[in-house]
């Protein structure tokens, strides 16, 4: 037992590094080709003048810098997330702006360093701006197309991961709720209630149906309100209280602003089931399950605390189960909220386990 431990592997190779290398390779090949072709054309097979060589080298270097700055602006302004009606005007205007910025210094170099003084400088500059507008438009079109395709592929992969993670969570929840031991105990308890307390028996059956309905419908909803998830958890705890009786005590501290916060489906249920199954139900005297939720600093803070056996073998069993059962919840948090979300299991206290969740509040 070594304190708080993350419940999912964080070290994974991601696509951005590979994409960045591919981007710089394309930049080097594209502007390198421009540099070679221009040198060959300017020199016409012979020696190139130093001034012309400087101009060509400056143009290639300035082109790299300018297009890279444009790429940064493009990402900073969120162009890739715009719809077509907003993206197209920007995409059409940007190459002309880049061309004007690019041609200006080249014109000054030719005029004052190389001494070129054409009779119609306006026509020369205009022709150069048109030519470079087309070049920058081609650069932009290639970059946007590749980036949009890559973004779409990442989103599709993310959706597949999320679907797999949610399906796994649903299956684990169903396994927990539909296993013969759970049904045998719950149904036997309900059967015993029927002659003495038929109203309570009917309520217990309704609660079981609610749990199963929530589990079967969870695959449709990635996010549910905390109030909705808590309602299903209350049904689960009511069923378990039929079996555990006074051994299961629940302490709820729920902030008024937490009810409408959207959380991953079955997140709270998974944490509570883990606490009951591997903590309180293993103790002869039972214990208190504490559920705390509040919104603070734009984030939902959720804590599930429970007593647990102190026996070393049971602690190892608990750790193994957490490593399997809660990794999926952690992965779904990552897929839905990115690095802003976090799930930790704190086992530093010998007879307590505390699950802590932090996730951003979305409007």
The per-residue pLDDT for range 137-161, each reduced to its tens digit, is: 998 888 888 888 887 777 777 777 7
What pLDDT does 319 receive?
40
Q: Is residue 73 part of a domain?
A: yes
**In terms of domains, do 257 and 140 share one?**
no
Using alpha carbons, select from 302, 325, 291 the residue that is nearest to residue 8: 325
Q: Is residue 318 part of a domain?
A: yes
What one-character-per-residue DSSP string does 171-224 give?
HHHHHHHHSHHHHHHHHHHHHHHHHH-HHHHHHHHHHHHHHHHHHHHGGG-SEE
Q: Is residue 195 part of a domain?
A: no
**In terms of domains, do 19 and 92 share one?**
yes
Judge whether residue 38 has pLDDT over 60: yes
Q: Is residue 184 part of a domain?
A: no
State how many domains the chain has. Answer: 2
| Tens-place pLDDT, residues 328-348 | 778 778 777 877 888 988 888
Q: Is residue 8 part of a domain?
A: no
Intra-chain end-to-end CA distance of the chain, in Å: 38
**What is the rounded CA–CA span in Å between residue 153 and residue 80?**
13
Rg (CA), the chain: 32
Half-sphere exposure of 75 toward its Cβ, with a 13 Å CA cutoff?
9
Which of 72-76, 267-271, 310-314 is predicted with the least confidence, judged by mean pLDDT?
A: 310-314
Range of 267's domain?
Answer: 222-360
């Amino acid at each position: 037992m070594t304190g708080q431990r993350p419940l999912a592997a964080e070290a994974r190779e991601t696509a951005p590094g590979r994409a960045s290398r591919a981007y710089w390779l394309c930049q080097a090949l594209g502007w390198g080709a421009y540099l070679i072709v221009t040198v060959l054309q300017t020199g016409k097979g012979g020696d190139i003048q130093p001034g012309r060589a400087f101009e060509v080298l400056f143009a290639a270097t300035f082109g790299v810098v300018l297009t890279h700055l444009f790429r940064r602006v493009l990402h900073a302004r969120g162009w890739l997330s715009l719809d077509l009606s907003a993206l197209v005007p920007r995409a059409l205007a940007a190459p002309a702006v880049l061309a004007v910025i690019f041609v200006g210094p080249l014109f000054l170099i030719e005029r004052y360093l190389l001494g070129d003084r054409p009779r119609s400088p306006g026509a020369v500059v205009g022709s150069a701006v048109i030519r470079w507008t087309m070049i920058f438009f081609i650069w932009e079109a290639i970059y946007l197309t590749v980036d949009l395709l890559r973004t779409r592929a990442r989103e599709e992969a993310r959706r597949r991961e999320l679907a797999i993670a949610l399906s796994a969570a649903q299956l684990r929840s169903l396994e927990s709720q539909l296993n013969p031991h759970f049904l045998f105990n719950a149904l036997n308890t309900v059967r015993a209630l029927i002659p003495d307390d038929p109203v309570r028996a009917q309520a217990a059956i309704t609660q079981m149906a609610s749990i199963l309905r929530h589990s079967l419908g969870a695959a449709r909803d990635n996010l549910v309100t905390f109030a909705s998830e808590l309602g299903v958890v209350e049904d689960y705890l009511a069923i378990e209280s039929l079996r555990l009786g006074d051994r299961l005590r629940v302490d709820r501290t729920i902030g008024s602003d937490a009810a409408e916060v959207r959380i991953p489906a079955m997140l709270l249920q998974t944490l509570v089931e883990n606490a009951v199954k591997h903590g309180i139900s293993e103790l002869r005297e039972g214990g208190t399950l504490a559920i705390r939720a509040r919104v603070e600093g734009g984030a939902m803070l959720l804590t599930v605390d429970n007593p647990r056996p102190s026996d070393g073998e049971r602690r190892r069993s608990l750790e193994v189960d957490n490593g399997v059962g809660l990794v999926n919840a952690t992965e779904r948090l990552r897929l839905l909220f990115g690095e802003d979300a976090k799930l930790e299991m704190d086992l530093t206290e010998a007879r307590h386990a505390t699950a802590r969740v932090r996730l951003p509040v979305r409007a």
